[in-house]
A and B are shown apart, each in its own frame.
Chain A
Amino acid sequence: MQVASPLPPPDSNGVIDYNVIKISADIQENYKIFKEIFKNDNTVVIRVFENQQDKDIQFLGISINGMVKPNSIYQSITSPLMQKKFDKNESYFTQAHREIISSLDLSIKTDVKDIVKAILYGDTAIMVSGGTQAILVETKGWSTRSISEPDSEKNLKGPREGFTEAMIINASLIRRRIQTSDLKFQYMNLGTRTNTFACIVYLDSLVDKKVLTEFVRRLEKISSDSVLDANYIEELIKDNRHSPFKTIGSTEKPDVAAARILEGRIALIVDGTPIVITLPYLFIENFQSPDDYYLNYYFASIGRLLRIIGFFITISLPSVYLALVTYHQEMLPTQMVTAIAESSKGVPFPTFVECLIMLFVFEILRETGIRMSSKIGQALGIVGGLVVGQAAVEAKIVSAPMVIVIAFTGITGLITPRLSGAAILIRTLSLIFTAILGFYGFFLFMITVLIHVMSLKSFSYEYISLSFKPQSIKDIYVRAPQWQLKTRPKFAKDKYRR
């Protein structure tokens, strides 16, 4: 005979609305409910236990194996509940909550949905006979990766700590850098199925409240059932969703996140990923590096200028080369014309096709380099260098100048990793335009890109704003000395001065 389930039937998406269920005063009843909720889940520990002094006082404890610290459950929950004597004149639930459970972080919840969520996040739920609520005790104890330097954002000087996958640890890393009660952490849940914890971090006195409200509104509008990484959110709440340019920043370094929060920006830590997103995000941030502020300002400024020039080279070099050798040969010095013509004699493809082939090969090598284990890296270098470079030139499949052009394009593309997606797109499209119309096509396309970038906004702030006042450009093309960095960006309108 089949026993009737204590749970309501699931909706069309297969999700059960737990809020319909009420916690019963009978422990055995609650046991059935939670056993049903966590059916077929062997990691969940559900146990009914009694007080040794009075066997009528029963407790139901629920936690998840591997997510909790077993010692702390024993010391602060099960041991006191089983051994301490309860006063019969007072509610057992209140006594357990106030006197007996010795943990500091306690909360009382009535909604089964909240209770389930807390259990799944490493809390221990305790129900006491006679009580219609649950006590949630903070017993989180899952293992996380230790704090290490992120591979994607290495720096010469300055802090080497990087965010980890645990939100709480990440929050503490920011908190340690900005020790003021003005720093606010607001929790929220994202993803209807993953129930991912996220935390909005900002400085209350500096943040633009309009941006904050808009950010929260957009987050609340997310209807996706899974949020596994910050990029899920980034893509969903971006201003111009089809733009290849990032209008929301991301970082793996707590010092960078802290610096951005101190400029009036908002950060969002998402549990399960070391990537913290920050906003508003400006175009120039693509070229900024934490090292800019840790190194001497001359050196930092040269580095930043190189990054800006590098980006322009990586998007335009193949197109400029193509335009010069197929349309505007008169712009090249005679020796260069002769050298290029000499080396491309016998190459079977038109320059444009040659260029596309080489770009394709470079992108394949780059992608392989990212995906494979670092031990094969040297082999890839040899394949890339010898096969694609020397052998291809000797076999007259590509010309030597083309290899140089693509190699330089590739190298400069690596200077600005945050723009690499946009760079590939712009580079390829501008190449096509140039192949059709020469320099005219190149500039036509570049103007289109410029118009697009100029029209972008990040949370109502212009992605690129043109100003020539010294304080507005102090940290744009070059990094001015620290004593000259007097004002914040305009996100913090009221508290403009640092």
Chain B
Amino acid sequence: MKRLILLIISGCLLLCGCWNYKEIKNFTIVMGVGIDEGKAQRYRVCVEIAAMKSGGEQVRDQAKPKVVSVEGDTVLQAIQSITATTGGNLYFDNCKIIVLGDGICEKGIGNIVEYFVKTAYFQKNIDVAVAHNTTAEKIFSINPTNEEVVSTELANSIRSTAQTSSTAMNVTPYQLYNAYKSGKGSVITALKIEKNGQEKMIMSGGYGCFNGLKLTGYLTENEALFYNFAKNKVSKGQLSVKVDNKVSGFEILNAKTKLNRSGELIVTADVAAYDGTVTATEQDINRYVKQNVKKVISKAITDFNCNEFSFSGHVSVIGNVTVRDRRLAG
């Protein structure tokens, strides 16, 4: 009897773990995934694979990350085809970003988002971005400026843009999925290819607006800032106020937006003025912020049919901006 109990207990203890032994050296480390509209089949999936040379020698400078693209009727099928071409097990745990092409977004990304939410291979805090007027494959083909890998640079760029200029946002697949399931709209940070002399660079900023996970339109970077004001997502950034064709620049020190009981959206912010060219007064700023926030809410909700707020497009906005004057006296 004792032996039986011991056997049961040891069986319980030893057989309930996850038997998922996998050697790190057999991995093909995927840094980013891009999904575009396919030509022959429904999806074209590309993955950026981290550069690796065996033996731990100092060869990483010469080795460049590879981008592999394969088409498939489902995302899963395409990914499995990639495994067949690369040979190693695709390892997605360190995947930094999912870039969705413009074309596929217009057709709807419900299936894609659901795949990323429900599969166990991806981390749950992975960033999603949309390629503005371009394909994901093109985005991954651009040479990175700071990092070795495009995906890492994209993820870092979205994070720093969201923190320093408040014109982007970290959006994860499950946030999109939740919004989709609750019938709300959602926005995804847009990536653009810009020319810098001969070189091409990727810029993050602005949003793609989605209704029912179908792309309905884009907000510019400036609009994205006011959209973030409405969403209470502004931490730092710069505010350019145009009054009588004169532009006054302010630094946003902090900002907070609240919806009060009477249904008014109150934007409270501290901004700093540093130089003598600033001519706008506090009233000007408040008016400017109020107009633009109202405009962007109305654009998203009415024009793009993308409402992720708890209010309608006719909400009244009150600006409550305080200026910290740090100009030299006189």
Contact = CB atoms under 8 A, between A and B. Distances in A.
B52 A437 contact: no
Interface stretch (B25-33, B192-200, B314-322): B25-33
Given A338-B52, A342-B52, A329 B24 contact: yes
A344 B25 contact: yes
A437 B17 CA distance: 6
A341 B52 contact: yes
Interface stretch (A16-24, A157-165, A254-262, A345-353): A345-353
Interface in A91-141: none
A446 interface: no
B143 interface: no
Nearest to A393: B56
Contacts of A343: 55-56
Interface in B124-156: 152
Interface stretch (B89-97, B175-183, B254-262): B89-97
Contacts of A334: 29, 31, 50, 94, 96, 152
Contact of B24 (A340, A437, A438, A441): A340
Interface size class of B (residues with CB under 8 A): 20 to 34
Contacts of A326: 21-24
B54 interface: yes
Contacts of B21: 326-327, 435, 438
B93 A330 contact: yes
Contacts of A346: 25, 54-55
A329 B52 contact: no
A464 interface: no
> What secondary structure prevails in chain B residues at the interface with A?
loop
Contact of A344 (B24, B29, B50, B93): B24
Nearest to B95: A334
Interface in B172-211: none
B56 A325 contact: no
Interface size class of A (residues with CB under 8 A): 20 to 34
B39 interface: no
A403 to B, nearest CB: 10
Contacts of A394: 55
Nearest to B152: A334
A337 interface: yes
A342 B17 contact: no
Contacts of A444: 13
22 contacts: A326-B23, A327-B21, A329-B27, A330-B123, A334-B31, A334-B96, A337-B93, A338-B52, A341-B25, A341-B29, A342-B53, A342-B54, A343-B56, A345-B52, A345-B54, A346-B25, A346-B54, A346-B55, A393-B56, A399-B25, A437-B17, A444-B13
Given A334-B50, A337-B93, 4 more contacts: A334-B94, A342-B53, A347-B25, A441-B17
Interface of A: 325-327, 329-330, 334, 337-347, 350-351, 393-394, 396, 399-400, 435-438, 440-441, 444
